[in-house]
Amino acid sequence: MNSDAALELITVSKTYGQIKALDKVSLAIQSSQFVGLLGQNGAGKTTLFQLLTGLFNNDSGQIQVCGHDIRRHPIDALSSIGVVFQQSTLDLDLTVQGNLKFHCLLHGLSRSEAEHRIASELERFDMTAVRYQPVRSLSGGNRRKVELIRSLLHRPRLLLMDEATVGLDPESRKSLVNHVISLCKERDLAVLWSTHIVEEIQQADRVVVLDKGKILADSSPDKLLAEEDSGVSLSDAFLHLVNLNKTIGVVHGHAC
Ligand SMILES: Nc1ncnc2c1ncn2[C@@H]1O[C@H](COP(=O)(O)OP(=O)(O)OP(=O)(O)O)[C@@H](O)[C@H]1O
Ligand SMILES: [Mg+2]
């Protein structure tokens, strides 16, 4: 195990009946690294996030967050993680402040510290004006920003974003990606950003391609392009890898 890594997975597997949602996945992410996790529908991205956040247990393999084994020291591991799930988990009837405060109290922050952190994060994201509005009244983009703010309040070392830009227009999507990239560098945050929109991770330090539960590639966007030699774009390289995996599955008689 690499104890300096913000996140380390060693041969992690998870099955649902006959489906191998994750198949011996190994991966390490260091502080300040923005890692894009690219995979088509059903690739296993959300399953990975569910294991990393302790919602489900892996069948085999090891997961460490900032050196804490998620099974043996779940509180230490989970308190180092901030997460924005694919499905929104905000309480729509509470105000922005109410949602954020609830999160701070769950993480054991004092009321005064919670107030201070909420005010400064809202300001950073230019969201102070909506502080006392019910979340239901916010646009999709602003709701996602609230989720991002909430995920940062307890000062995590590892930020997990599972298709965080779903439903956003291209401009809001770009703005959210840029916010997270700058946070990653400013605060030494390790980021795992899952998506199937290739454009979102053009600026990533590394791109991990997941397909049918297996990692097909793990390298910088530039290297991936060079290795795949598949034409002009990262999107082409991704599709080329996934299609190649499909062909291999057919040749070996795998149920794909
Ligand atoms: N609770 C579950 N019970 C049974 N099968 C599941 C469950 N959760 C996921 N799966 C299966 O595991 C595989 C991986 O699903 P997962 O949701 O992790 O993919 P994903 O990459 O997040 O896809 P998407 O891009 O559509 O969100 C799929 O075949 C899915 O049907
Ligand atoms: Mg998913």
pLDDT at position 254 is: 44
Task: Tell me the mean pLDDT in the region 175-185.
Answer: 91
As a whole number of angstroms, the distance between CA 43 and CA 88 comes to 20
pLDDT at position 256 is: 31
Q: What is the mean pLDDT of the chain?
A: 91
Confirm or reject: Cβ of 250 under 6 Å from ligand 1.
Answer: no
Give the closest residue to 241 by CA, choosing from 39, 3, 24: 39
Residue 50 · residue 10 · CB < 8 Å: no
Taking CA atoms only, the protein residue closest to ligand 1 atom 7 is 16
Q: Which numbered ligand comes closest to the C-alpha of 48?
A: 1
Taking CA atoms only, the protein residue closest to ligand 1 atom 16 is 44
**Of the residues 20, 47, 51, which should be mutated to test ligand 1's pocket, given the most ligand atoms within 8 Å of the CB?**
47
What is the 105 CA–ligand 1 centroid distance (Å)?
Answer: 32
Confirm or reject: Cβ of 221 under 6 Å from ligand 1.
Answer: no
Q: Which numbered ligand comes closest to the C-alpha of 39?
A: 1
* pLDDT per position as a tens digit, 113-131: 999 999 999 998 899 999 9
**Of the residues 45, 55, 85, which should be mutated to test ligand 1's pocket, given the most ligand atoms within 8 Å of the CB?**
45
Q: Band of the pLDDT at 239, cuts 50, 70, 90?
A: confident
Predicted confidence (pLDDT) at residue 106 exceeds the cutoff of 60 = yes
Order across the sheet with 7-16: list the strands: 19-29, 7-16, 60-65, 68-69
Q: Band of the pLDDT at 245, cuts 50, 70, 90?
A: confident
Confirm or reject: Cβ of 42 under 6 Å from ligand 1.
Answer: yes
Whole-Å CA distances, 47 to 28, 60, 87, 147: 17, 14, 13, 20
- The structure tokens listed for 21 are 């949602």
As a whole number of angstroms, the distance between CA 163 and CA 153 comes to 20
Q: What is the DSSP letter of 95?
A: B
Please give the angle made by the CA atoms of 7, 44 and 150, to the nearest 5 degrees.
55
Q: Which atom of ligand 1 is nearest to the CA of 48?
A: 18
* pLDDT per position as a tens digit, 207-228: 999 999 999 999 998 888 887 7
Taking CA atoms only, the protein residue closest to ligand 1 atom 3 is 16
Which residues on neighbouring strands pair with residue 211, listed in sequence order? 214
What is the 190 CA–ligand 2 centroid distance (Å)?
Answer: 20
* pLDDT per position as a tens digit, 21-78: 999 999 999 999 999 999 999 999 999 999 999 999 999 999 999 999 999 999 999 9
pLDDT at position 249 is: 60
Burial of 89: CB neighbours in 10 Å, binned 0-12, 13-18, 19+: exposed
Predicted confidence (pLDDT) at residue 246 exceeds the cutoff of 80 = no
